[in-house]
Amino acid sequence: MRKKYIKTLFIVFFITIFFKYIFCFDIKTKLEELYSAEKNFTIKKHIKLALQYYEKGFKKSFLEEIRLLAQIKSEYRDIISQLGTEFNTDMTDNGFSNSSNENKKSFLINKFEKVNKYYKESKLSNAIVELQSILELDKENKTAIQMLNNIKEEEFVFDDSKPFQNLVKELYDKGMVFYRKGSYKDAIEKFEKAKELDPTNTFVKRFLNLSRERLINIKRKEDEDRLIEEANKLRTEGEIKKSRSLYEKVYTYNKNNKQAEFYLNEFNRISDELYKEAFELKNNDKLKEAYSKVKEALEFNEKNFPASNLEKELKMKLAVYNERERIQKKVNQLYNKGVSCFEKGNYECACKYWEEVLKINPDDEQTKKNIEIAKERVKEFEIKKETKIKKLISEAEILIGQGLLEKAKSKYEYVLRLDGDNLKAIQGIKKIEELNMIKVGEKIEKR
């Protein structure tokens, strides 16, 4: 019984392998037959690719190719549908399943990448084949149509009426190789040589001008990048005004520069916020803080007209305020000098400084009171001074009577320090000098 069971399993396995081999052989054979019978080069290419992918076991790539073939040639749809069924794939009329739109999109992207690669390498025939395969799948594809037209427009047309056309074409073709690579400087060199041989050639002139334009655009882009980098550096260093100037320069040349546009808008926003803060400070009579804030707002945007008007208003108010402060400072200096004199007992000096204060500010009540006090002190001092002078003169006269002339003279000199014009003190000193002369005359000298 066990042997019979094993034998049955072996037969089933063999039959499965056999039919799988037969089916594989049929797919390969069918693709080879289609390849031999097909006359269209593009279709033959896709059949060959499908066959290669099938033989290598690349299921996904194989399915993409047979879907494309189903779209390109309607006669293949039944065959392709059978092939797709064997790979558990439902094929629709357009060659792609409803669940594989992403595959179609990926396929087209891949094709366009190849087109661009071939174009840059100047492999135009390969690029054309890829574009045609795209149009076979999507006849209305505008990008593919435009690219095909562009390639056709680049094709050099001989003018047999002009000399050196072969050389012109050779230089033109070399120029186009550089042009497609983006090496515009080298392209210009070739086109200029071609133009020397054929100055009116429209192809040469067109791509010479385009190369120059693109070279200028590259230079401009490099300049833009350099200016943006410099502007960013200045911005981080706090040089907002200089930074804005560079952003504006870039934006003037290129309205599509997003970085310049962003920072200009950001600077405008910050400027508006600073203006609002300055306005609030002004309303709170904080003029200096408001002026500082509005100046900062104008750093971010000097065309902020409300901020500019506020700056002018604050400037005028601050000029008045500063003048008042200057005058008040001078008044305070004079007042304090008067206080110093008063503390030293020099009341007349104190009155002099305080009277200067009243000339500037006649309504200073404290200064008026100070002057009254100082004048009272002056009167008191004068009374005391007169009493003292009388006492000193009296003492000096007594000293003269006692013959103490030097001590008497000292008293008179003290009086003159108190009152430089005191007549009694002046006469007293003169009298002492006369008495001294008499004493000198009475002196008996040795023989």
Q: Give residue 195's pLDDT.
A: 92
Q: Does residue 413 contact residue 432 with C-beta atoms inside 8 Å?
A: no
Question: In the CATH hierarchy, which top-level class contains the domain 220-320?
Answer: mainly alpha
Per-residue pLDDT 10s for the chain (447 aa) are 444 445 454 444 443 443 343 344 467 777 777 778 777 776 777 788 777 877 777 777 777 777 777 666 666 665 655 555 555 444 444 444 444 566 677 778 888 888 888 888 888 888 888 888 888 878 888 888 998 888 888 888 887 788 888 999 899 899 989 998 889 999 999 999 999 999 999 889 999 999 999 999 899 889 999 999 999 999 999 999 999 999 999 999 889 999 999 999 999 999 999 999 999 999 999 999 999 999 999 999 999 999 999 999 999 998 988 888 899 899 899 899 989 998 888 888 888 888 888 888 888 899 989 988 988 888 877 787 788 888 888 888 888 888 888 888 888 888 888 778 888 888 888 888 888 887 655 554 555
Q: Where are the beta strands (DSSP E) in 86-215?
A: none
Q: Give residue 386's pLDDT.
A: 82
Q: So where are the chain's domains?
A: 220-320
Choose among 137, 60, 61, 43: nearest CA to 95: 137
CA–CA separation, 253 and 214 (whole Å): 15
Choose among 148, 134, 119: nearest CA to 72: 134
Other Cβ atoms within 10 Å of 68 Cβ, number? 24
Name the one residue in this structure whose structure tokens are 């290598």. Answer: 56
Choose among 218, 247, 223: nearest CA to 233: 247
CA–CA separation, 65 and 87 (whole Å): 13
Name the one residue in this structure whose structure tokens are 């104190």. Answer: 350
CA–CA separation, 202 and 162 (whole Å): 13
Q: Which of the 8 DSSP states describes residue 445? A: P
Q: Where are the beta strands (DSSP E) in 215-283?
A: none
CA–CA separation, 357 and 338 (whole Å): 9
